Structure 1
Amino acid sequence: MGLILGLIIGGLAGWIAGKLMKGQGFGLLGNILLGLVGGFLGGIVFRLLGLAATGVIGSLIMSVIGAVLLIVIVRKIKS
């Protein structure tokens, strides 16, 4: 059940980050991948700031923040 919930949160986080940053999503697999990597990045950033995300909503918020940061980093590298 944890894997399925992680994929759902990753997909939602990637989709939300895509909407926030460029106005559209990245496709189903792209959204899931973006959200999962964003969750990892968000976890690192939250730990560095001394914050904790608990529950499904906390995980989703952390993943969205991480995914947005990931999009910003990729855009800076590409330009």
Structure 2
Amino acid sequence: MVLSNESLIVILFVGLIAGWLAGKIVRGTGFGIIGDLLVGIAGALVASLLFPKIGIRLGTGLVSEIIYSAIGAIILLLVVRLLRSGGRW
């Protein structure tokens, strides 16, 4: 999969929104708004690369990208939270 400049910009924009949304859903991670936004961008990148490969499709368009990215960011926030707390939720 080749990412164009436009798709990278969309991933960054959607990642910002998804990071904010994931920070609201997963409370208590202690990263603050900037950390949640960075995790959101990473979640958007992971989701945009991983979900189509495993066959998860929610639709098309910007709303589905935000949903994918929010799911990816939530998963990343939970994994980081699990690693930071030593395996305890």
State which of 15, 21, 24 in structure 1 corresponds to 2:20. Answer: 15
Gaps of 5+ in 1: none
Question: Rg: which structure is higher?
Answer: 2
**Root-mean-square deviation (CA), in Å?**
2.6
Q: Under a length normalisation based on structure 1, what TM-score does the superposition of the two structures give? A: 0.74
Of 46, 49, 52, 1:41 maps to 46
User: CA offset at residue 25 of structure 1?
Assistant: 7.9
Distance 1:38 1:69 in 2: 8
Match of 2:32 in 1: 26
**Alignment-mate amino acid for residue 43 of structure 2:** G
Residue aligned with 2:32, SS: coil
| Structure 2 gap ranges (5+) | none
Q: Distance in 2 between matches of 1:4 and 1:61?
A: 17
> d(CA) in 2 for partners of 1:41 and 1:6?
10
| Contact 1:12 1:35 (8 Å CA) reproduced | yes
Going by fraction, where is helix more abundant, 1 or 2?
A: 1
TM-score (norm 2): 0.67
Aligned residue pairs total 77
